[in-house]
Structure 1
């Protein structure tokens, strides 16, 4: 779960109230300045697609970006820019030029590293200054299309297509401002988007209130699913997990419930769940916890997410059988057609 998810479940959120007022004041005036062009969104010589959301994590942006990059790469030169949340470096960093493999996820963040491990021939750059990152990508890789990962709140670059993802599993209570919910900015700001995509539609039905809200925007609304596509080893090779294998489920993501539901659909017998906060950096002591859990619950294997495997695979995992459930973002046909037409 995300750090904000943990806060919203406790009384600690009231301590953050003065900070919240200040934060939302900054968000309000920042958007006002952009709306009235006191702040300028700059255009770059490449088509820009933004993939983002209104909530703090859990919508499935990384699988969506992988899907979108593969969809467009057959007919366009594509590059990706991400902020690189949680990385130990600063400035502009090349995660991959499309052929190289990232050496250490901590230099780029877990999600950009996951993108690089799943995409071939697509340059990926991290930079908290998206305009600077875009100009670097254009100068060095000359793409036709740049995908901005998690950029709905980053308005410094004009975009040709602004996609906002909505987690179908999120409850109505999540749609309150941080720290009382998971909203990064007021729900009404979703009207800045060009189209809305409900994610994980095969795992849950979105709350009626959110469905009505989406319809009231008069924006195109599409659905997507998360499809299980097998398991991979720590070396990212196909891995076989037999039905009803007793497993320890380990996750450090914003929406662990979707992971558990996907494991259930894969006929995995989860005997223990170990959940950590989103982007958690695992240590050797956690490996001891894994081993103890396997022994105490008669588990045969640790199953984690692809994102978590990025943070685990470089640790000394000797003596621990581990793999990741691989998932695939699948957009409905109307949504796919819409994107291709808008970007053509």
Structure 2
């Protein structure tokens, strides 16, 4: 049924794809203006809709550079109920600033984190006080001409036709991969074969001949209680709550570590309501087990924080994630490219 629907929607994808192509060519021909800045800017983004691992990649890049340069993270703040420019504070709410920026601020409390839907406006407000600005999810923001582009593809996206909306899940054309200096395939199997890497590389090389191509997988860190203590989830009874784009890798991981009783899934960036929390609480309390926990993601935790009182009697635990590269040499080259590019820009006379 879904395949038939996608087939029926394909003519609309042609129209959408043509409109996107025209827009990008207008920027390439400088008929639409892109703005560059004297402060180094690194964009992390994708061509598809969500679920490619931008947050852990942003955290990886920030960790690599923040000790050398006064760094700011600038995000759109997807899902927030405000507009304009905001500085994110550790006690901000996800409704004010978005869940991912709030996660960044709590992970890097000394770092400047800001949100602004107009990235150029955001950079203008940050550039005088910072040496480097890292932009989360700004690859399609062609009004900005960044110093460096990091483009992410979810591994599973190479198993399906890469169509644009509405027949497919891509919001931009594959040809736009040509603007990236680094392309990382995320959420790969840990045992990804050399043959599979070469197949994906060959496909990407049709659109980008020069970018560094790297392969990474999700690294699940030690679970943490919402109050801060580490938690061992092995063999525990788990009720999992997610509001992320592609939760299946997490579900698979939990099944290997613990007894997954129930998965309560919401759409990506879902704004939890009191009714949702009541449903979650009811599911947890109805589980007859003395060895149970409610597990969620670090991003979802940011949106559950306003319901701290309702969840007070629940063992609420979140699972931080990061990225690991399949090839340590690729990781070293990735970081060297970042450092060399930023250093050259900062030290320009």
Query: Is the pair's TM-score, using the shorter chain for normalization, greater than 0.5?
Result: yes
Which residue number in structure 1 is paired with residue 113 of structure 2? Answer: 124
Which residue number in structure 2 is paired with residue 273 of structure 1? Answer: 263
**3-state SS in 1 of match to 2:302:** helix
**3-state SS in 2 of match to 1:314:** helix
What 5-or-longer segments of structure 1 have no aligned partner?
Answer: 1-7
Structure 1 residues 275-309: Cα deviation after superposition (integer angstroms, max 9, x where no partner): 11101111222223223433555461111110111
Give, in angstroms, the shift of residue 195 of structure 1: 1.4
Matches of 1:192 and 1:308, distance apart in 2? 32
Give, in angstroms, the shift of residue 202 of structure 1: 4.2
Matches of 2:314 and 2:4, distance apart in 1? 38
Which residue number in structure 2 is paired with residue 336 of structure 1? Answer: 335
Which residue number in structure 2 is paired with residue 228 of structure 1? Answer: 220
Give, in angstroms, the shift of residue 171 of structure 1: 4.9
**3-state SS in 2 of match to 1:259:** helix
TM-score by length of 1: 0.87
Structure 1 residues 29-52: Cα deviation after superposition (integer angstroms, max 9, x where no partner): 210110100012111120010000
What 5-or-longer segments of structure 2 have no aligned partner?
Answer: 326-330, 344-349
TM-score by length of 2: 0.86
Query: Are 1:194 and 2:158 matched, yes or no?
Result: no
Matches of 1:212 and 1:330, distance apart in 2? 22
Query: Are 1:115 and 2:98 matched, yes or no?
Result: no
Structure 1 residues 256-267: aligned runs within 5 Å: 256-264=247-255, 267=257
Alignment CA distance shift 1:104-1:291 (3 Å): closer
Matches of 2:263 and 2:231, distance apart in 1? 20
Count of aligned positions: 329
Matches of 1:152 and 1:185, distance apart in 2? 10
Q: Is the 8 A contact 1:197 1:222 kept in 2?
A: yes
Matches of 1:89 and 1:295, distance apart in 2? 34
Query: Are 1:76 and 2:69 matched, yes or no?
Result: yes
Give, in angstroms, the shift of residue 19 of structure 1: 6.2
Q: Please, which of 120, 134, 137 is the counterpart of residue 147 of structure 1? A: 134
Structure 1 residues 245-324: aligned runs within 5 Å: 245-264=236-255, 267-295=257-285, 298=288, 300-315=292-307, 316-324=310-318
Structure 1 residues 48-67: Cα deviation after superposition (integer angstroms, max 9, x where no partner): 10000111000110111111
Structure 1 residues 3-24: Cα deviation after superposition (integer angstroms, max 9, x where no partner): xxxxx94866678667655543
Q: Please, which of 39, 42, 60 is the counterpart of residue 46 of structure 1? A: 39
